[in-house]
Amino acid sequence: EPAELERRFEEVIAREERVEPRDWVPDDYRATMIRMIAQHAHSEIIGMQPEGNWITRAPSLRRKAILLAKVQDEAGHGLYLYSAAETLGADRDELTRKLIEGRQKYSSIFNYPTLSFADVGVIGWLVDGAAICNQVPLCRSSYGPYARAMIRICKEESFHQRQGYELLMTMMRGSDSQRRMVQDATDRWWWPSLMMFGPPDADSPHTERSMAWKIKRHTNDELRQRFVDMTVPQADALGVTLPDPDLRWNAEREHYDFGAIDWAEFKRVVAGNGPCNAERVAHRRAAHDDGAWVREAAAAHAARRAERDGA
């Protein structure tokens, strides 16, 4: 009965074991995991758009091939994560409809424009770098299918981060105008990358319980700090300046202190009023509508097959 089921669930969590699709879980745990996995999947799919914008204008065949592979990886991560959400009883079509109707979130970071090819490098370096910071701990998340998906995804994110950093290194060894493009892209993507980690812990309604259920292994602020500490030396090695005059090493804390984040901007973007929100959702809606005939044909084919086999 419920009390025994609850006790067993809590025991699995306490023993750092994995919760699997067949296990009984509290309704709120299921709802939280569907929310988090679905929004992660949406982020991967929407995240294809900013960089996809540059596939036809990559400066060389090599850069085009790398960018194609990366955008294709993001699509795969999305499909992988929708499958993980389905193990919790979520319906993929329903999740897509919620995304298209603006009833489910995706990462704020993808609502910013990609204005030059240096953005492709900075997205690899900062956005995929932040994603790695946020997702490596999720490999130890208590929900089995999600944690296992993270292991595969983190391996590919490492390639994404490396290719971005290598692209920037190449541009920084190039002309003055290439160096200016890298600095301009860094200036535009730095603060939005810090916002990827979510609101401050004090304003995060989900963190406490997600930590108790070992869904999250660190809080938003802890991972944000880890990302800043990791990235400052990389910016120095690249020769770019991070756009934060308050950024400085704090020997006492053994972390970098950094300036205030514009949480009003974060709230605006999450609420749908960022630079590219409407365009991103409209593009996703158009792709869904354009693909309706494929879904209908596949369903008709499956029904015909079932009829024939059943007959």
Q: Which residues of this protein are in contact with ligand 3HC, per CB under 6 A?
A: 35-36, 39-40, 43-44, 47, 74, 105, 107-108, 127-128, 131, 134-135, 195-199, 204-207, 210, 220, 270
- Nearer Cβ to ligand 3HC, position 132 or 287? 132
∠ CA(224), CA(229), CA(234), 5° rounding?
A: 115
- Nearer Cβ to ligand 3HC, position 149 or 179? 149
Find the shortest distance in angstroms from Cβ 41 to ligand 3HC: 8
Find the shortest distance in angstroms from Cβ 129 to ligand 3HC: 9
- Nearer Cβ to ligand 3HC, position 47 or 121? 47
Find the shortest distance in angstroms from Cβ 19 to ligand 3HC: 17
- Nearer Cβ to ligand 3HC, position 178 or 230? 230
Amino acid letter, residue 269: V
Length reported for the chain = 311
- Nearer Cβ to ligand 3HC, position 88 or 179? 88
250: part of which helix (H) or strand (E)? strand 248-250
- Nearer Cβ to ligand 3HC, position 133 or 179? 133
Find the shortest distance in angstroms from Cβ 163 to ligand 3HC: 13
Query: Please, is 12 exposed, middle or buried when counting C-beta atoms within 10 Å of its C-beta (0-12, 13-18, 19+)?
Result: middle
Query: Please, is 230 exposed, middle or buried when counting C-beta atoms within 10 Å of its C-beta (0-12, 13-18, 19+)?
Result: middle
With contact defined as beta carbons under 8 Å apart, do 274 and 262 qualify?
A: no
Q: What do you get for the CA distance between the two ends of the chain, in Å?
A: 43
**How far apart are the C-alpha atoms of 81 and 87, rounded to whole Å?**
10
**How far apart are the C-alpha atoms of 44 and 269, rounded to whole Å?**
17
Find the shortest distance in angstroms from Cβ 6 to ligand 3HC: 22
With contact defined as beta carbons under 8 Å apart, do 185 and 115 qualify?
A: yes
Find the shortest distance in angstroms from Cβ 200 to ligand 3HC: 9
**How far apart are the C-alpha atoms of 183 and 185, rounded to whole Å?**
5
CB atoms within 10 A of CB 307: 9
- Nearer Cβ to ligand 3HC, position 199 or 244? 199
- Nearer Cβ to ligand 3HC, position 93 or 208? 208
**How far apart are the C-alpha atoms of 200 and 227, rounded to whole Å?**
14
With contact defined as beta carbons under 8 Å apart, do 162 and 204 qualify?
A: no
Find the shortest distance in angstroms from Cβ 204 to ligand 3HC: 3
**How far apart are the C-alpha atoms of 46 and 74, rounded to whole Å?**
9
